[in-house]
Amino acid sequence: MVKIGLNRLAHMGHLVIRASFNAGKVDTVAINDSFLDFNYIVHMLQNDSIYGKFHGTVKAENRKFVINGKTIIIFQELSTGASCTNNCLATLTNVIHDNFGIVEGLMTIVHAITATQKTVNDPFGKLWCDGHKPAQNIILDNFVKLMSWYDNDYGYGNRVVDLMAYT
């Protein structure tokens, strides 16, 4: 079985963790997240407002996670981390680079904004998911623009696990 480590446990990280334990195709051994609040992550893994309760056990113990009896090492090193944009853009960028070559690029993200969402990054507070800066969208006119998106986070999280198991 392929051993994996996740970098960041934001929204997609939660879904990949859930998918990895549900599928049993990969062995999650470590998580790196410099913004990690153990109690918050346990709560988010156990209770997802969209996908419901996790069918298993999750707890924080001695600065490690224990999911379904499996201990996962936690690192809190500062890193760039993956994001929805990186995950969505990676495949498209690879295809374009392999076929045409990329010398330089600019990546931007467009998110919907809720009425209470902050307009700058602010990783603290009770509603951490509201801390992303959705209004930061600068698109210059002297670039070739490629657009891609995904709107099925659950399906994407499962395909990430399938890809890791395959490679």
123 and 69 belong to one structural domain: no
Instruction: Name beta bridge partners: 65.
Output: 60, 72
- Domain assignment present for residue 53? The answer is yes
63 and 93 belong to one structural domain: no
- Domain assignment present for residue 166? The answer is no
Classified as helix, coil or strand, 115 is: coil
Catalytic site residue from 84, 96, 109, 165? 84
Which pTM value belongs to this model? 0.60
10 and 49 belong to one structural domain: yes
62 and 112 belong to one structural domain: no
pLDDT band at 65 (very low <50, low <70, confident <90, very high): very high
9 and 54 belong to one structural domain: yes
6 and 70 belong to one structural domain: yes
- Domain assignment present for residue 118? The answer is yes
- Domain assignment present for residue 156? The answer is no
Structural domain boundaries enclosing 68: 2-75
For the segment 22-57, what is each residue's pLDDT rounded down to a tens digit?
999 999 999 988 777 888 888 888 887 777 889 999
- Domain assignment present for residue 107? The answer is yes
The domain that contains 42 carries what CATH number? 3.40.50.720
- Domain assignment present for residue 106? The answer is yes
37 and 95 belong to one structural domain: no
Report CA 28 to chain centroid distance, whole Å: 14
Place of tokens 């999650």: 28
Classified as helix, coil or strand, 47 is: strand
Q: How many structural domains are present in the chain?
A: 2
Selected residue with higher pLDDT from 20 and 49? 20
In whole angstroms, give the CA distance from residue 158 to residue 21.
10
Which residue, among 27, 37, 22, has the nearest Cα to 6 in the 3D structure?
Answer: 27
- Domain assignment present for residue 158? The answer is no
How many beta carbons lie within 10 A of that of residue 111, not counting itself? 14
Phi first, then psi: give them for residue 51, nearest 5 degrees.
-100, 5
Boundary residue ending a domain (75, 95, 112): 75
Selected residue with higher pLDDT from 70 and 114? 70
Tell which phi-psi region holds residue 8, choosing left (phi > 0), alpha (psi between -120 and 50) or beta: left
71 and 88 belong to one structural domain: no
| pLDDT of 41 | 82
Is 88 an annotated catalytic residue?
Answer: no
- Domain assignment present for residue 147? The answer is yes
70 and 121 belong to one structural domain: no
For the segment 68-99, what is each residue's pLDDT rounded down to a tens digit?
999 999 988 776 555 656 666 777 788 888 99
